[in-house]
Amino acid sequence: MSELNFFEIVKRRRSIRAFQSKPVEDEKLFKILETVDLAPSAGNLQAYEIVMVRDENRKRALAEAAWGQWFIAEAPVVFVVCANRRRSAARYGSRGENLYSINDASIAAAYLELAAAALGLGSCWVGAFRDDMVSKVIEAPSHIRPIAIIPVGYPAEAPSRPYRRGFKDFLHFDKIRVGV
């Protein structure tokens, strides 16, 4: 993939909340997961776990846990990206448990979304959910914290590009200079 293709993929990626009923091919799912496996992580500990959900009942339970965001259940596949706090804490203590594992899972989720976009799939990072309910649905032990629910499928919509503030509004030189 050339640089131009990468930047075009980033530009065209959108949050998709409507999916076609067409199933996602296993080859594409494996390609997404292979891409996630290349994501950088703190100390290369890869302190994340990913649960792939295709079961209709579990998808509905995830949508309910996400405050009724029912488009989650309509996607052919839903990934739940989790931080493995124990894996990171083993080397980095509380900073690993409370920050690095979250960073690792977030980077993995971003790679997942970009890989999906590169394959012509749509996705949406869902962060609004009740942790305890999601943990119950995926049967996660206490050291595994859900970070994102990401439904994936063929898009049934083409949202326009949302407003972006631009780097001139978030880039600072030497120190932060903002009023907010």
Q: 4 pLDDT exceeds 70?
A: no
The span from the CA of 40 to the CA of 171, in Å, is 23
8 domain-assigned: no
pLDDT, mean over the chain: 95
pLDDT tens for 136-172 read 999 999 999 999 999 999 999 998 888 888 888 888 8
State which residues form the domain around 58.
Answer: 16-156
Q: What is the CATH number of the domain that holds 97?
A: 3.40.109.10
To the nearest 10 degrees (0 to 180), the angle between helices 56-65 and 131-138 is: 170
161 domain-assigned: no
175 domain-assigned: no
Task: Say what the pLDDT of residue 68 is.
Answer: 98
76 domain-assigned: yes
178 domain-assigned: no
120 domain-assigned: yes
165 domain-assigned: no
**b/e per residue 71-98 (b: at least 16 CB within 10 A):** bbbbbbbbbbbbbbbebbbeebeeebbe
Max CA separation in the chain (angstroms): 51
10 domain-assigned: no
pLDDT tens for 62-102 read 999 999 999 999 999 999 999 999 999 999 999 999 999 99
pTM for this model (two decimals): 0.94
Q: How many domains does the chain have?
A: 1
Residue 173 gets the label, from left (phi > 0), alpha (psi -120 to 50) or beta, of beta
